[in-house]
Chain A
Amino acid sequence: MKGDIILKVENLSKQYRLGTVGTGTISHDINRFFAKIRGKEDPYLKIGDSNDRSSKGTSQYVWALNDINFEVKKGEVLGIIGKNGAGKSTLLKILSKVTSPSTGSIKSRGRIASLLEVGTGFHPEMTGKENIFLNGAILGMTKKEIESKFEEIVSFSGCQRYIDTPVKRYSSGMKVRLAFAVAAHLEPDILVVDEVLAVGDAEFQKKAIGKMQDISSGEGRTVLFVSHDMAAIRSLCNRVIILSDGRVQTEGKTDFIISEYIKQSFSLTKNVFENSKFIANVQIYVDENRKEAVSTLFIGGKFIIEIEFKKNLPMKIDYCFVGIEDEEEKRVLSLGTHLDHNFSGVFSEGSKVTCIVDSMPLVQGRYKGLIAIGTDNPRENKEVIKDALLFDVINDDFFENGLNLTKSQGYIALKSKWEIL
């Protein structure tokens, strides 16, 4: 029946050992073994820090997941979001039985199939048809089931013409289509989906999201969906969980949680400003009044960069510059006092300066910023701080049609108006 609890996660934790596997491992294994034969608990399960990637912990063990509890009702589409390293993938791996938890349990009333990656087990030398059967079987279908759905799978993938060609001759988009088509025709009670939709062209993304909607609403099946794509989460999920440092931070209705999520901050490496002679801190806000530091910005959304100067400046500073770079350190945006014709003035000791941008023009992705300060006349940098800023730009349905752009399609998200004359 709809509304019954189909999946229950209780006190789920997962511990990982940091560092390399080497000679130390064997001594830990031996200790563990002796503890076990004496009937004691695993001595290494007690220790461990929370999984905060940026701060250096004292223990060699970390909790990737720490006491996770939640329930999923039948027919529900649950979104799981969180920054990188929050434990999303670990949770999915445990759900899909790829690895087992350290403590706690997951109880399920239905068959779980997971889609952590499309095209798992595709063999390049085999034809599309052979791969459909192999991939389907890997995902848990019987040969009979695949045979009965074969036509449907092929037409959904749109690869009819290539079906007897080895997959190595396929374009990467075609491979993804074929793989998703197989996965979409699985019939589990619970489908676990990782960010597989991030691939493929816009048309296919839309088709995939549509198919997922059918699966949940039309066929009444339960879906757990992990994504960074807020538009996809918004259009699919009834309920969302935010994971943070291996814990469930908040859960609730989709709209509320998404707006919570974007307000969240995450700490930059603090010591960036330690050696600086001029700058004490740099933060990004989306709300001028609340001044809450964030690390996630929306395409088309307003943002404010605030730079705080140190108490004693060694020289006169009247020029400030922020360079936004992509992950490969390619400059994508320049913001500077010299580019604002209204701006003039000298930064005094301990003062703050803000840079307000009305609309974030960049497409979805991760960006970082360097700060340069110096004198305006002659224009000269006195100090350059790299990696002073780090933020993610996400799409909150900027184009208002569920579509999204990525860096490979250009860095600028711009609305355009099309008319037939």
Chain B
Amino acid sequence: MQKDKWLFEISPRNNLFDLNLKEVWQYRDLLFLFVKRDVITLYKQTILGPLWYLIQPLFTSVIFTLVFNNIAGIKTGEIPPFLFNLAGVTIWNYFKECLTATSDTFKKNEAIFGKVYFPRVIMPMSIVVSNLLKFLIQIFIFLFFYIYFVLKGFSIAPNVYVLFLPVLVILMGMIGLGLGMIISSMVTKYRDLTFLVSFGVQLLMYLSAVMYPLELMRKKLVNVEEGTDYSWIVDINPIAHLIEFGRYILLNDGSYSNYGIIYTIIFTVFIFFIGLLIFNKTEKSFIDTI
């Protein structure tokens, strides 16, 4: 008879590559409901509500402009420094939010994960999607200032590659999600990492060409007199490439290298899958170690 036909088996030996994507698809409604929950509840009982989405990048850009352009005197060419910084900050923010919000997935959802099973990866995915909505709002404010500066007579125009903006956003989300999943998996056992994330992200921002052109950064890191060359720091940082590419397509400014793009894509896909694997392995037993 059908003696050995079981629908599924729960056992300790889990195949590392058993990602169960079919199951994730079955739970797609949950993903959207989590997104809805995040959107509905984030700014409940605040006065300014979603305006915070706008205030944060705008103020950051103003301060960056003061510090890096007015005080430190970094030149941004034809592009108004404020718009230059706003572009960088907007793209950077999406990555940062995805990373920091997903990196404590297990810890934050311990209560719910401990009581009921659903594919855990739904949770970080929903965070990335709800941050996408936030990113869209911020892109609109960027557009608003873009048009403002065009009307003021600045000669700025996007590049044809602006069509690749969605690809850029997906890469940013993937790399944030990938790193976030790796960190959240390790945080279940070693809490030390939580401290690392909050200030590590801040440090990473300075190395990611958010408020200065990539070329300038690369140039300044090479010191011919002393024979030192730290430009590899920029070259190995995929985020720097992504932000520079973002500015290149939005403002038609700066450099863009095939090497950088290909490297970044490979890096992103790699990190994303490593993250998925580690996360998948952790979700089966984290509740015992957290």
> Do these two chains interact?
yes
- A: which residues have CB within 8 A of B? 8, 16-17, 21, 25-26, 29, 93-111, 114, 116-117, 120-121, 123, 125-126, 130, 133-134, 137-140, 142-143
Q: In the assembly, what is the distance between CA of A116 and CA of B14, in Å? A: 24
Contact yes or no, A97 B9, CB < 8 A: no
Q: B30: nearest residue on chain A (CB-CB)? A: A137
With a cutoff of 8 Å between Cβ atoms, the chain A residues found around residue B30 in the complex are 137-138
Taking the nearest CB of chain A, how far is it from the CB of B114, in angstroms? 6
Q: In the assembly, what is the distance between CA of A102 and CA of B116, in Å? A: 19
Q: Is B48 part of the contact surface with A, judged by Cβ < 8 Å?
A: no
Provide 30 A-B residue pairs closer than 8 Å at the C-beta atoms, listed in order of the A residue: A16-B288, A21-B289, A29-B189, A94-B10, A96-B117, A97-B10, A98-B114, A98-B115, A100-B10, A100-B12, A100-B14, A100-B284, A100-B285, A103-B12, A105-B9, A106-B11, A107-B8, A108-B9, A116-B115, A117-B115, A121-B112, A123-B41, A125-B40, A126-B37, A130-B36, A137-B27, A137-B33, A138-B30, A138-B116, A140-B27
With a cutoff of 8 Å between Cβ atoms, the chain A residues found around residue B285 in the complex are 99-100
Contact yes or no, A130 B40, CB < 8 A: yes
Contact yes or no, B29 A120, CB < 8 A: no
Q: A45: nearest residue on chain B (CB-CB)? A: B12
Q: In the assembly, what is the distance between CA of A29 and CA of B186, in Å? A: 12
Taking the nearest CB of chain A, how far is it from the CB of B172, in angstroms? 27
Taking the nearest CB of chain B, how far is it from the CB of A116, in angstroms? 5
Q: Is B273 part of the contact surface with A, judged by Cβ < 8 Å?
A: no
With a cutoff of 8 Å between Cβ atoms, the chain A residues found around residue B101 in the complex are none
Q: In the assembly, what is the distance between CA of A106 and CA of B27, in Å? A: 23
Contact yes or no, A109 B12, CB < 8 A: no
Contact yes or no, B44 A101, CB < 8 A: no
Other-chain residue from B7, B14, B27, B45 in contact with A110 (beta carbon distance below 8 A): B7
Q: Is B118 part of the contact surface with A, judged by Cβ < 8 Å?
A: yes
| Contact A107 B6, CB 8 Å, known A98-B113, A100-B12, A130-B40 | yes
With a cutoff of 8 Å between Cβ atoms, the chain B residues found around residue A138 in the complex are 30, 112, 116, 118
With a cutoff of 8 Å between Cβ atoms, the chain B residues found around residue A134 in the complex are 33-34, 36-37
Q: In the assembly, what is the distance between CA of A25 and CA of B186, in Å? A: 13
With a cutoff of 8 Å between Cβ atoms, the chain A residues found around residue B289 in the complex are 21
With a cutoff of 8 Å between Cβ atoms, the chain A residues found around residue B152 in the complex are none
Q: Is B193 part of the contact surface with A, judged by Cβ < 8 Å?
A: no
Q: A93: nearest residue on chain B (CB-CB)? A: B287
With a cutoff of 8 Å between Cβ atoms, the chain A residues found around residue B190 in the complex are 26
Contact yes or no, A114 B117, CB < 8 A: yes
With a cutoff of 8 Å between Cβ atoms, the chain A residues found around residue B22 in the complex are none
| Contact A108 B6, CB 8 Å, known A21-B189, A25-B189, A100-B285 | yes
Q: In the assembly, what is the distance between CA of A300 and CA of B288, in Å? A: 41
Q: A9: nearest residue on chain B (CB-CB)? A: B10
Taking the nearest CB of chain A, how far is it from the CB of B24, in angstroms? 13
Contact yes or no, A99 B287, CB < 8 A: yes
Interface residues contributed by chain B, number (CB under 8 Å): 37
Q: A100: nearest residue on chain B (CB-CB)? A: B284
Contact yes or no, B115 A133, CB < 8 A: no
* Interface-centre pick from B10, B29, B111, B189 (highest chain A CB count, 10 A): B10
With a cutoff of 8 Å between Cβ atoms, the chain B residues found around residue A101 in the complex are 10-12
Contact yes or no, B12 A111, CB < 8 A: no
Taking the nearest CB of chain B, how far is it from the CB of A71, in angstroms? 12
Taking the nearest CB of chain A, how far is it from the CB of B209, in angstroms? 36
Contact yes or no, B116 A121, CB < 8 A: yes
Contact yes or no, B7 A99, CB < 8 A: no
Contact yes or no, A105 B11, CB < 8 A: yes
With a cutoff of 8 Å between Cβ atoms, the chain B residues found around residue A108 in the complex are 6-10
Contact yes or no, A104 B116, CB < 8 A: no
With a cutoff of 8 Å between Cβ atoms, the chain B residues found around residue A97 in the complex are 10, 117
Other-chain residue from B32, B37, B115, B118 in contact with A123 (beta carbon distance below 8 A): B37
Contact yes or no, B112 A98, CB < 8 A: no
Q: A183: nearest residue on chain B (CB-CB)? A: B116
Ranked nearest first, the 3 interchain pairs of A and B with the lowest CB-CB distance are: A105-B11, A97-B117, A137-B30
Q: In the assembly, what is the distance between CA of A117 and CA of B107, in Å? A: 19
With a cutoff of 8 Å between Cβ atoms, the chain B residues found around residue A105 in the complex are 9-12
Q: B6: nearest residue on chain A (CB-CB)? A: A107
Contacts A107-B9, A126-B40, A134-B36 aside, 9 further interface pairs with beta carbons under 8 A come to A16-B288, A94-B10, A99-B284, A100-B12, A100-B14, A120-B111, A125-B44, A134-B33, A137-B27
Q: A117: nearest residue on chain B (CB-CB)? A: B115
Taking the nearest CB of chain A, how far is it from the CB of B169, in angstroms? 26
Q: B114: nearest residue on chain A (CB-CB)? A: A98
Q: A145: nearest residue on chain B (CB-CB)? A: B29
Taking the nearest CB of chain B, how far is it from the CB of A220, in angstroms? 17
Q: In the assembly, what is the distance between CA of A98 and CA of B40, in Å? A: 28
| Contact A114 B116, CB 8 Å, known A99-B285, A126-B41, A137-B30 | yes
Q: In the assembly, what is the distance between CA of A25 and CA of B188, in Å? A: 12
Q: In the assembly, what is the distance between CA of A116 and CA of B115, in Å? A: 6
* Interface-centre pick from B40, B44, B115 (highest chain A CB count, 10 A): B115
Scan B245-276; emit 1 where CB is below 8 A from any A CB, else 0.
00000000000000000000000000000000
Q: In the assembly, what is the distance between CA of A138 and CA of B112, in Å? A: 9
Q: A107: nearest residue on chain B (CB-CB)? A: B6
Q: In the assembly, what is the distance between CA of A103 and CA of B14, in Å? A: 11
Q: In the assembly, what is the distance between CA of A189 and CA of B189, in Å? A: 35
Contact yes or no, B116 A120, CB < 8 A: yes
Contact yes or no, A116 B116, CB < 8 A: yes
Q: A141: nearest residue on chain B (CB-CB)? A: B29
With a cutoff of 8 Å between Cβ atoms, the chain B residues found around residue A8 in the complex are 6
Contact yes or no, A133 B33, CB < 8 A: yes
Taking the nearest CB of chain B, how far is it from the CB of A258, in angstroms? 28
Scan B78-121; emit 1 where CB is below 8 A from any A CB, else 0.
00000000000000000000000000000000011111111000
With a cutoff of 8 Å between Cβ atoms, the chain B residues found around residue A93 in the complex are 114, 287
Taking the nearest CB of chain B, how far is it from the CB of A53, in angstroms? 17
Considering the complex, which residues of chain B in the window 191-239 have a beta carbon less than 8 Å from any beta carbon of chain A?
A: none
Q: In the assembly, what is the distance between CA of A109 and CA of B285, in Å? A: 23
Taking the nearest CB of chain A, how far is it from the CB of B190, in angstroms? 8
